Every structure is written in structure tokens, then in C-alpha cells.
A and B are shown apart, each in its own frame.
Chain A
Amino acid sequence: MQTFFTIVILLLGFLITFQIAKASEYVAVLRGEEKSRKQTNKINAFMLLAFLVVGLIGVWYCNEELKGKVLDFPASDHGVDIDRMMWITLAITGIVFFITQIALFWFAFKYQESEKRKAYFYPHNNRLEVIWTVIPAIALTVLVGFGLYYWFRITGEAPKNSLVVEVTGSQFKWEYRYPGKDGVLGKKYYKQISEEKNNPLGQIWDDPANHDDVYVSGEPLHLVVNRPVKMVIGAKDVIHDVGLAHFRMKMDAVPGTPTTMWFTPKYTTRQMQELLDDPEFTYEISCDQMCGKGHYSMRGEIIVETQEEFDRWLASKKPKYFSVFPDKDPTPKADTTANKSVTAVSARMNSERME
């Protein structure tokens, strides 16, 4: 019913507008084209100036309303550079914006058609052209200079002491793998991926580097505050993207083409909760490349904590290898009252539940 009335109102509104428009055309003809044109010129000239004023107020008002929703401060070292770059660019483009928009609408108003004036025949001025070629070129060179300086820093090699973690995207979830004590991610091959065989990443178990790799899925990724993290990123099916808005970082996850990115988180999750006065705060991973109908729901979480907390958490995780081959697991279960066969069964059940 609501829709019906809305449509009727719109149609009526349109009909009224049309009748007014048609009528005003007749009036213009009757009054004489010259006179009508002069009047509409004045109205439009005034409206152009009004638009400038209202528009500038609107820009200011929009800024007041929305500036608080723009993710405050960056939570990574690179993020600081990126935000600084944004501010510099905003300053330069902002100046250009105000000068040119004001000139545009002011000229439109000031030089509206008038009997008292004739247009000034001014076809070119080469010196002006040179001036307003050189000045933008200089401004842009400054932007390029800063930009590339930060770009090479951000895309350069990750520091030697980085925490390495592999992030794999697939429709529509994130899976993580830590390299374990040897610090080396074991080899994998996509044709080995098998849900039934408990091998979601296709790890090659013959490679000993895989034996201590810890697989994490369905729970947050853990990172260490003030320690660089190097993410080795891939995808199983289509292109995804590891989007980390708070850290200001993102990198595509491409099937068949591994990518990497590194950054250093500056604040633990708890610190962010305090700084933002938001006990519900959590770092999120958003998929930032169209990947299918679940693209908007492909969400991951990141917990940033101290090195001790991280070590404790990682220690509580069993390498995937032992879930697949429970008899290879050297450490007995913490609950020593259970006997070995029960342990094996419960281990297998646990890993099955994780699928």
C-alpha cells in the first residue's frame, strides 16, 4: 500500500511539474524570448552562487558529522606512514579544491550575461599556461616523492625477526598456518587438499618442516604487539584480499600466485579497547576483492597480544600433523588418567569437529 501511494504521489508530482514547465514555456514566448532569458539567467546565476555557499557549508557540515567515524588512529607502523601520506595529499588537494570551485562558481555569477558588458576576447596566454603547468607538476612531484618513499618502505623485505604466518582465503573463510619452532612453513600442493584426509591446506607430510606447523581456523589469528608479522598470503579458489582496515594494510590473495605483506602492530587488542573506550573492539579481516556471493560475510578476527600471551596460546595448539597421524604424537594427553587408545580416539574426534 505504501509503495502504491508513493508511486501515485511521485506521478502526480511529476505531472504538476510538467504542466508548470509547459506553461512557463508559453509565458516565455509571450513575454518575448530575450526578456525571459534575461530573467532565468539572473535566477540561475544567483542559484550558482547560492550553491557554492551552501555547498561549502555542506562540506564543512559533512566533515563535522563524519570525521569521528573514520577509524581514528592507525594501529600499525606502516599505517602511520599511510595516514601521514593521506593528510599531506588532503592538504594539497584541499587547497586546489577550494580555489578552483570558488573560482568556478564566482566567475559564473560575476560574469553572467549583462547588457553593460561585452565578453573580453582573450584567446590564449602562453605564460599562464606554463605557470599552471609547472605549479601542479611541482605539487605532484612532492606527492610522488613522499608516496614512493613510503611505498618502498612498506613493500620492502620484512625484518628478520618477523613472526611468519600463512593466511589462506577461500569461499568464504580464512585459514591460518604458523610455521612452528623451525620457523619454516612446510611445503604444500593444492592437489593434496582433502577434507576427508584432514588436510585442508594440502600440506605435504613428507616434508619435515610441516610436522610442527600449527593450523588455525574458525578462531582469531593471533599476532604479537610491536613485533613485525610477515603474512604469506594465498587463496584456494578465486581471488580474495586480506583487508586490515585498522592497520591500513591489504594484499590480494591469488590462487597460484603467493603474495606477502608485512607490518608491525602497535597496540594490543586490550589497549585498543581502552583507547577507543569500546570493550567490544576487535581487529577484523575483511575480504577486499570480490569473491562470490559470500564476499560480504568473509570475516576474520585478529587478536594482538604480548609475546608471552602469544607463546602460551600457540603452545596450547597441536600441530596439524599430529591430528592427521595421532600415533606420531609424542606428547601424552594432559589428562593422564585416560589411556592411550582413548586419547587417540578423542584426538581424531577433535580434528574432525574442526572441519
Chain B
Amino acid sequence: MGATDIHTGVATTHEVHHDEHHAHHHRETFITKYIFSQDHKTIGKQFLVTGIIWAIIGAFFSVMFRLQLAYPEQTFPILETVFGRWAKGGTIQPEFYYALVTMHGTVLVFFVLTAGLSGTFANLLIPLQVGARDMASPFLNMLSYWFFFMASVVMISSLFIQTGPASGGWTVYPPLSALGQASEGSKLGMDLWIASMSLFVVSSLLGGLNYITTILNMRTKGMSMTRLPLTIWALFFTAILGVLSFPVLLSGLILLLFDRNLGTSFYLSDIFVNGQILPNEGGSAILFQHLFWFLGHPEVYIIILPAMGMVSEVLAVNSRKPIFGYMAMLGSLFAITILAFVVWAHHMFVTGLNPLLGSIFVLLTLLIAVPSAIKVFNWLTTMWRGNIRFTPATLFAIGFVSLFISGGLTGIFLGNSTIDIHLHDTYFVVAHFHIVMGVSAMFGMFAGIYHWFPKMFGRYLNNTLGYIHFWVTLVGAYLIFWPMHYMGFAGVPRRYLDFRGWKSFNEFDDLNKMITIVSIIVFAVQLMFVFNFFYSIFKGRKVTKQNPWGATTLEWTTPIRPGHGNWEGEIPEVHRWAYDYGKDGREFIQQTEPISPNESKH
């Protein structure tokens, strides 16, 4: 039982500050406690539950469109029953297919992997691991969730309108997304998409500002920046990425809104669409791509960085060893953050951009592979000569590393512009980003959920279901996405719903069927996980130890179910870094334990 180090003695400004919060008693109603809660732990749970619901919806969409890909000639009457004219005759209509893939991407990238990942764990872990009673501004924090909720409502509403949701791909390039004449999904659905994303950006900014401020200003006594767990560093850099890049997306979307509704020509020029000559001249469709990808690329690091941080944590705790190379891990997080801002045009190699410009982006893109490689080697060395316990969290962390290796290496193909000429917009890209983001980052999220579920709810998730969840998803994900690389080499284009009219792309019918069947199984297992999640909140095995994983970090010095304000007495003082596992023959030494004079130095 790890003792909470009660620091008595001289009152410092920190303590006085915290005492103010501690003595703060306000009357809580159901609404202020559970709905408009300003407690970071509750807000984290709100993000998580909303993220889980969106994940089911987004994954369900993928099962739908995979049915079309595997069985293009078959009709499924039940589809027409459920979706009406969108699936006339039991076949998914092209507009519907494109709406499904667009929403799948939008929902999973933003609502699940950004809000659901960062929103959950930044909120849950930052105050607990830095030693603060709550975020710097609990009120803005509460708003950040509710803006996310509003964004969700607007996005869902777009699914039910007559002309359907946005259907130009999650990247919504104009002129397709600007012109209602070019696509049904570019009518009202696109305006709703823009409105929803604008609310989402506000939510992210509110959250990000809070995370940065709390980490910089509200660390407890003794918690220097270099004693912070890597999870916090990762969340810190993630927030910086978001604060600097989301506004650029917003500006790009506002210009798009203007082009759509106010007759401007930011992105439009020389357009003859659907028999109509448009007056717009002088705009550049490529401008949108620059603005979009200026966020778009940092966005994928916003997604992966928290996962990386949590995996470092989970691997260290469960290997009973320090994370290998803390400073190198920190340095590589920093390098990734900086480089993330200057590689965006590798998504635009075939737009006709100036080749010299393209070459600069090739250089920077392949440069960013270096810190990523360093991280992989450090994780491997963390496990080397460890004493590893395979909790479900550990397994997901190991799976993360495997998938990150696979997905990251294929990025090296795409980052080289020469190869990208052939592979751009093919299934190779689909395979790459699904493995490295869709699966790897999800695994990081699962590792975090399994590891910190006891802290969130005072109960454990069922282990057996956890193991099944891991094994089926790992094997299934590789079965689904690994063969897609071959389709990419063959030049099979992405965003095609039917290959029957083609001679070149007809070789993969059996493969498509196999992939679809496996994806249905993987989807079913995720539903099982969701059941495990909600069931265990109420009926899971109760946590009886304050520090069930034997971890060193501060969140495990709070009571099993921490209340508002986290620590019942004073906030503990920190004396050491977060990774004293296996030091001097001791299993672990909590951060709150003072350095004893006979301890070895490292």
C-alpha cells in the first residue's frame, strides 16, 4: 500500500493556492455534478463515452461500405429497409457510399481519435499526474466538452437531411465541396459539416489552452518539467500542435463557407459544372489543400502523440523497468512536434506543385522518420531484460509498437515523392494510415483505457474479454490492412466503390471478400469491448488496492475513487522522476518518496 506522502511544514505559495481549492465547498446538483461538471475527471469520462459512441457509428459505416466492396453485384434488401432510397434495390448507391466513407473518416479522425483520445486522457491524467486539484480553468474545460457535444449534434443532424451529409471525402477538397451542383453531399450537408468542425475546433482550442496552462503552471512542489511522466509531455506537445494548427483549418473552412455562400473566389476559378458557367475567377483550389493539410498533418501527430506517451507509461510500469532513454524520448517528442509543422505538402506531391518545393518536403518528411525510429528502439530496450506482466493494457501497448513499426515504415514509401507519384490515392495510402493511425493509435487508446479504468471507475475491466479483444483485433487488423499494400502497388485507386468496369483493377475480388468478412468480426469484437466497458463501470471487479499496478506516478497516490480536488489532504510533494522501477532491488519507488542518502544515482 503506497503511502500518500503528507507534506507538512512550511506553507509555500503552491500549497496556499491548493488549499484555496481544497476548502472550496459548493452545493452540487445532479446537473452541476454530472452534466455541466467542471471536474476534470468527469469531463474526461464524458469525452470517453462520447468518443466510444462515435467509434461505433464510424466503424459501423465502414462495415456498410465494405459490404459494397466485397459484394458489388449482390443486393441486401435489409439495407433498403433501413436506409430507403440511399440503398435503392438493396444496393448502396454511389452517393451513399461516398457519404459513408466521408463520415467514417471525419468521425474517426476527429471525434474519436482526437476528442476521444486527447480529450479523455488529457483531462483525466494531467491534473492527477502533475499534482493539481483540477485544470487551470475548470469552467473553460467544461465548455470544451460541451462544444464537442454540440459539434457532435450538428454532425449527426447532417446524416438525416434530404440531400445527405458531406460526401467529398473527409478531406473535403473544393471545388467539389464548394459546389452543390457537383454533388448532393455538397449542398446543406457540407455547410453542416463546416459548422460542426468549427465548433469542434473551438472545443479543441479550449481544451488545449487548459492543458498547456495546467502543465506549465500548476505542477506540485518538486515536480520539475523533467520529472514529468512522458504521458504528460506527450499531451503537452499535442496541445501545442493543436493550438497552433487548428485555427488554420478553421480559416480554410471559413473561406470555403464564403465560396459556398457568399460568391467569393478563394478556391474557385474557370469552372463549368453541370452545364453551368460560374463567374468565379482567380481562385486556387490548391490553396485549400495547403490550409487543410497545415492542420491535417499535425493532426495525425495530435492523434499519435498521446498514444505514444501512454504506451511509454504502460510499458515501463508493466516491465518493471524505467522507460529507456527518458531524455531521448522527450527530445524525439519535441523533434516530432517541430517537424510536424513543416511536412504538410507531402500530401500534395501530385498537385502540380513546384518540384523544388516538393523536394524540400521530401527531405523534411523523411527527417521526421528519425525521431519516430528512436522511439521504437527505446520501447524495445524498455522491454529488454524487463520482467513483463501481460495485462490487457500491456498487450495493447506491445501491439501499438508492432503496428507503429509496420505503419511507420510504409510512410517512408509515401514520403518519397518519386514513389508517391505511383502510390498516391491508392490502397497503399489507405493501408498506411489505417495501420499507423486507425489501428496503432486505437491500440494506444485501448492501452490507456484498460490501464486507467481502475482509476476512472474504481473497478477493473474484465480481463478475459480484454485478452479476446486484443488478440482478435490485432490479428484481424493485420489481416485487413496488410494485403492492401499489394493493391496499392497494383495502382488500385482509393474511393472506388466498384471495380467491375475496369480491366486493370479486377484482380482482388477474393481479397476484398476476405477483408470484409474479417472486418465484420473485428467490429463485433469491438462491440464486445464496449459491452465490457459499460458493464464493468457498474459490475466490474472492485479495486481494493490504492495502487493496483504498483506504479510510481502521482495519480495512484489519490484515494481509489478520488473526489473533487483529488487529494484529501495536502497535495503530495515530488522528489524524483517517474521511472524508478527495479531500482536498488525495489519493485518501484513512488515519485513522492524522498531520495534517501544511500540510493544509487542514475
Residues of A within 8 A of B (CB): 3, 10, 14, 17-18, 20-22, 24-25, 28-29, 37, 40-41, 44-45, 47-48, 51, 55, 58-59, 62, 66-67, 69-71, 78-79, 81-82, 85-86, 89-90, 92-93, 96-97, 100-101, 103-105, 107-108, 111-114, 117-125, 128-129, 132-133, 136-137, 140, 143-144, 146-148, 150-152, 154-156, 170-171, 190-191, 193, 195, 202, 233, 236-239, 241, 243, 245-246, 248-252, 254-257, 259-260, 280-282, 284, 286-297, 299
Contact = CB atoms under 8 A, between A and B. Distances in A.
A348 to B, nearest CB: 21
Interface in B141-180: 167-169, 171, 173-176, 179
Contact of B324 (A21, A28, A122): A122
A191 B98 CA distance: 30
Interface of B: 76, 78, 94-95, 98, 167-169, 171, 173-176, 179, 182-184, 268-275, 277, 281-286, 319-322, 324-328, 350-352, 355, 358-359, 362-363, 366-367, 369-370, 373-374, 376-377, 380-381, 383-390, 395, 398, 401-402, 405-406, 409-410, 412-413, 416-419, 421-422, 424-426, 462-465, 467-468, 471, 474-475, 478-479, 482-483, 486, 489-493, 495-499, 501-505, 507-508, 511, 524, 527-528, 531-532, 541, 579, 581-585, 602
The 6 closest A-B pairs by CB, nearest first: A245-B491, A256-B269, A259-B352, A21-B464, A119-B582, A296-B496
A299 B504 CA distance: 11
A40 B467 contact: yes
B324 A123 contact: yes
A133 B362 contact: no
A238 B173 CA distance: 9
Contact of B418 (A10, A20, A118, A150): A150
Contacts of A259: 351-352
B464 A93 contact: no
B275 A104 contact: no
Given A144-B363, A254-B351, A292 B183 contact: yes
Contacts of A246: 491, 504
B374 A129 contact: yes
A62 B486 contact: yes
Given A104-B383, A124-B327, A22 B390 contact: no
Q: Which of A55, A90, A237 has the most CB of B within 10 A?
A: A237
A256 B283 CA distance: 8
Contacts of B363: 144, 148
A185 to B, nearest CB: 16
Q: Which of B167, B174, B350, B380 has the most CB of A within 10 A?
A: B350
B425 A289 contact: yes
Contacts of A48: 390, 395, 398
Nearest to B173: A239
Contacts of B486: 62, 66-67, 69-70
B582 A40 contact: no
Contact of A237 (B182, B328, B370): B182
Contacts of B531: 14, 18
Nearest to B492: A245
Given A123-B579, A248-B421, A259-B351, A113 B388 contact: yes
B380 A121 contact: no
A245 to B, nearest CB: 3
Contact of A293 (B183, B284, B383, B419): B183
B524 A10 contact: yes
A254 B268 CA distance: 10
Contacts of B412: 89, 92-93, 140, 143
Contact of A250 (B183, B425, B478, B504): B425
Given A18-B465, A122-B384, 20 more contacts: A18-B531, A82-B422, A107-B383, A108-B398, A118-B582, A119-B321, A120-B321, A120-B385, A121-B583, A122-B322, A124-B326, A132-B374, A132-B377, A144-B363, A148-B417, A155-B358, A241-B425, A243-B425, A250-B424, A280-B503
A1 to B, nearest CB: 11
A144 B416 contact: yes
Given A62-B486, A288-B493, A195 B325 contact: no
Contact of A101 (B277, B286, B402, B585): B402
11 contacts: A3-B78, A21-B532, A37-B389, A44-B390, A121-B322, A132-B374, A132-B377, A155-B358, A254-B285, A296-B495, A296-B496
Contacts of A281: 503
Given A236-B271, A256-B269, A256-B271, A292 B405 contact: no
A144 B366 contact: yes
Contacts of B76: 3
Given A24-B464, A151-B418, A241 B390 contact: no
B402 to A, nearest CB: 6
A190 B496 contact: no
Given A58-B478, A136-B369, A47 B381 contact: no
Given A123-B579, A256-B268, A292-B183, A69 B366 contact: no
A93 B355 contact: no
A93 B409 contact: yes
Contact of A100 (B405, B417, B511): B405
Contact of B176 (A25, A111, A239): A239
B362 A237 contact: no
A35 B373 CA distance: 37
Contacts of A190: 270-272, 277
B325 A293 contact: no
Contacts of B366: 140, 143-144
B418 A101 contact: no
Contacts of B321: 119-122
Contacts of B406: 97, 101
B497 A296 contact: yes
Nearest to B417: A151
B291 to A, nearest CB: 15
B383 A69 contact: no
A293 B98 contact: yes
B562 to A, nearest CB: 23
A118 B585 contact: yes
Contacts of B410: 93
A136 B373 contact: yes
A299 B502 contact: yes
B360 to A, nearest CB: 10
Contact of A104 (B398, B490, B511, B579): B398
A282 B503 CA distance: 7
A55 B490 CA distance: 23
A260 B492 CA distance: 22
A171 B325 contact: no
B587 to A, nearest CB: 8
Contacts of B94: 293-294, 296
A294 B384 CA distance: 53
A241 B429 CA distance: 16
B387 A117 contact: yes
B496 A295 contact: yes
A284 B402 CA distance: 37
A241 B503 CA distance: 18
A137 B370 contact: yes
B24 to A, nearest CB: 39
A148 B362 contact: yes
Nearest to B363: A144
A25 B464 contact: yes
Given A104-B405, A112-B390, A124 B482 contact: no
Contacts of A295: 98, 495-496
Nearest to B283: A256
A85 to B, nearest CB: 5
B326 to A, nearest CB: 7
B274 A237 contact: yes
Contacts of A114: 387
A40 B352 CA distance: 55
